[in-house]
Each structure stands twice: as structure tokens, then as C-alpha cells.
Amino acid sequence: MASLTLPPAPTNPRQDAIDLHKAFKGLGCDSTTVINILTHRDSMQRTLIQQEYRTMYSEDLSRRISSELSGHHKKAMLLWILDPAGRDATVLREALNGDTIDLRAATEIICSRTPSQLQIMKQTYHAKFGTYLEHDIGQRTSGDHQKLLLAYVGIPRYEGPEVDPTIVTHDAKDLYKAGEKRLGTDEKTFIRIFTERSWAHLASVASAYHHMYDRSLEKVVKSETSGNFELALLTILRCAENPAKYFAKVLRKAMKGMGTDDSTLIRVVVTRTEIDMQYIKAEYYKKYKKSLAEAIHSETSGNYRTFLLSLVGSH
């Protein structure tokens, strides 16, 4: 369930473009108007507004936002106005080719997306950047982490809820043999099962594993693997079981302790607002006894805070 709130009456993209242009004119920028318009339009409406803006003012809205806004607010707004696949592609490109390589962000984006989201995102990546995602993954990652990511973006997994209990039991046994039962770890088996099986199937494997061996599959992954490979496996497993809970945890980590990991906060808020932010908020409150809005409010300030809270909703 999305947390995005839209005006009760249908909006007019041309009028929105005119109002945005007015907000940018003159000295300083009327940020309140910009936030009020753009954070209450869905992906399709935002695309239409950008087309109208370009037609009327012969300028890209993103370019104008770039020159009018600054800091985290600018970064968040520029990501927000993109369509979901374009946004994922942009975050990935930045994570794999930016000034600072961020393999955590790349792993999160890849391993928490559905096969159909990954398919569209791969096409968008190639169209936008003229290079294949697989090529960039190959350049920036290594070892089992690389093998897992390449398999995960390459294999079209089933997305439905049905599972075959026989195969589930078989997979649980294979994982036991590949990990706890032997000295060392047979990573190939972990890669095969985690990249070829649907989320529903993997969630069933985790519960069968627990039932058969009295140990959680998550704990097994933690003790058998390490580094980015472990991170990728855990992301797949947690998203198979409960994506909202996974993202609540990622947000908590980004805001806990000294300082805030703003790029993670921005990435999760803008990419989940139109998908499952209401569920993430519920999981956040359940686990941390504090609303996500409160946490964001205490970690951010100014227009950046207003922007994020407009997306998440203030309760």
C-alpha cells in the first residue's frame, strides 16, 4: 500500500507546470508550492507535468530543479520525479559508477525487486546509460556476490503465490547439506536456490528449514557467509518473507546513532512511497515503538524534512 496522497479532484498537468514555473521565477524559489505539487502527484502525472513543462518552457524540469534546489532536498526531488524503473536505474548507475561506489545500495536495489521490476529496469538502464547493467555489475563486484547478482538479474523467477511442497523440502535439505552439515560452505547451492526460486517458495523453504533443523535460515546465512554476499542473500530472504519489515530495518539503521545516512533515507522513501510505504510504517512502529514520521522529523530539517514527510505522511 502506497503512502502517496493525491488531491480529491483530477489535476491538470499543464496548470501544474505553469504553477511550478511561477514558483521558480524571481528571487529564491517558492519551495512550498514545488513540494505541494510534486509530492502529491503519481508517477504518470509527474511524467505528464515534465512533458508539459518541456513543451511550454523549452527546458527540462529536472534541470530547473537542479538549479533552484540544493543538498539532500535536491537529490531527493530529482529522484522522485523519475518513473520507478528510471529511478532504480539511476540509483544503480550512481552506486556502481559514481564518485563513491556503494555496493550496499546496488545490492538492495537488485535483491529487493521483483523479476518484472528488474526486467523493465534493465531495459531502462541500457536506454539511459548506453551500457548493460550486467556489464557494470561485472566491473564493480567480484566472487560469489557477483555470481549471485548476475544470476538474480538474469533469471526470470515466478512471481505467484503457489509453491510445490516437495521441492520446498528438497531445497531445505540441499541448503542444510551445503551449509551446516559440512565443513565450509557450498556457495553454489545457496546461489542456485536463492536466485531461481520465487519469493513465496523461498519463504516456505525458510519455514521448512526451521521446522526440520530447528535453526533459522537467516542465522545459517549469517554464520556460513560474509560481506556483500551475505548482505545479498539476507536481502533476498528478508524480502521473500516480509519486504516491509526489511525496509523498516534499513530505515532504522539509516537514522540510528550519530548522524543520518541520508542517501539511504532518500532512496528508500522515494522508491517505496508508491509501493508499500504504509506497510513499512506499520512495521516500523511495531518494531521500534516510534512512528517513522517522528524518526524522520527528528533526523532532518527544512524543505528536505517537509518533502520526505509529504511523501511518507505525517502520522
pLDDT, the chain, mean: 95
In the block, which residue shows the cell 550519530?
Answer: 258
- What CATH number was assigned to the domain covering residues 165-241? 1.10.220.10
Please give the Cα distance from 43 to 16 (Å, whole number): 14
Q: Do 165-241 and 13-81 have the same topology in CATH?
A: yes
In the predicted structure, residue 210 carries a pLDDT above the cut 70: yes
In the block, which residue shows the cell 539511504?
Answer: 264
pLDDT at 233: 98
With a CB cutoff of 8 Å and minimum separation 6, the contacts of 173 are 212
What are the pLDDT digits (tens) for 111-137?
999 999 999 999 999 999 999 999 999
User: Measuring CA to CA, how many Å separate 42 from each of 25, 136, 159, 186, 306?
Assistant: 25, 30, 25, 45, 18
pLDDT at 60: 97
**Percentage with pLDDT > 70 across the chain:** 100
Calculate mean pLDDT across residues 253-279.
95
Cα Rg of the chain, angstroms: 21
Q: How confident is the model at residue 315 (pLDDT cuts 50, 70, 90)?
A: low
CB 305 within 8 A of CB 292: no
Q: How confident is the model at residue 95 (pLDDT cuts 50, 70, 90)?
A: very high
What are the pLDDT digits (tens) for 188-198?
999 999 999 99
Residue 116: burial class (beta carbons within 10 Å; 0-12, 13-18, 19+): exposed
Please give the Cα distance from 267 to 98 (Å, whole number): 15
Q: What's the gap between Cα 280 and its chain centre?
A: 12
Name the nearest CA neighbour of 41 among 14, 70, 73, 66: 14
In the predicted structure, residue 290 carries a pLDDT above the cut 80: yes
pLDDT at 230: 98
Domain ranges for the chain: 13-81, 165-241, 244-312
Q: What is the dihedral of CA 246, 181, 228, 169, to 10 degrees?
A: -40
Name the nearest CA neighbour of 144 among 204, 187, 87, 99: 187
Q: Which DSSP helix (H) or strand (E) runs through 86?
A: helix 84-97
Please give the Cα distance from 154 to 135 (Å, whole number): 12
In the predicted structure, residue 10 carries a pLDDT above the cut 90: no
Domain 13-81's class?
mainly alpha
Q: How confident is the model at residue 182 (pLDDT cuts 50, 70, 90)?
A: confident
Please give the Cα distance from 118 to 113 (Å, whole number): 6
What are the pLDDT digits (tens) for 96-116?
998 889 999 999 999 999 999
- What CATH number was assigned to the domain covering residues 244-312? 1.10.220.10
Q: How confident is the model at residue 306 (pLDDT cuts 50, 70, 90)?
A: very high
CB 260 within 8 A of CB 254: yes
The gap between the terminal CA atoms of the chain, to the nearest Å, is 15
CB 81 within 8 A of CB 38: yes
CB 166 within 8 A of CB 204: no
What are the pLDDT digits (tens) for 218-262?
999 999 999 999 999 999 999 999 999 999 999 999 999 888 999
Q: Which one-letter amino acid corresponds to residue 212? A: M
Calculate mean pLDDT across residues 9-25.
94
**Percentage with pLDDT > 90 across the chain:** 91
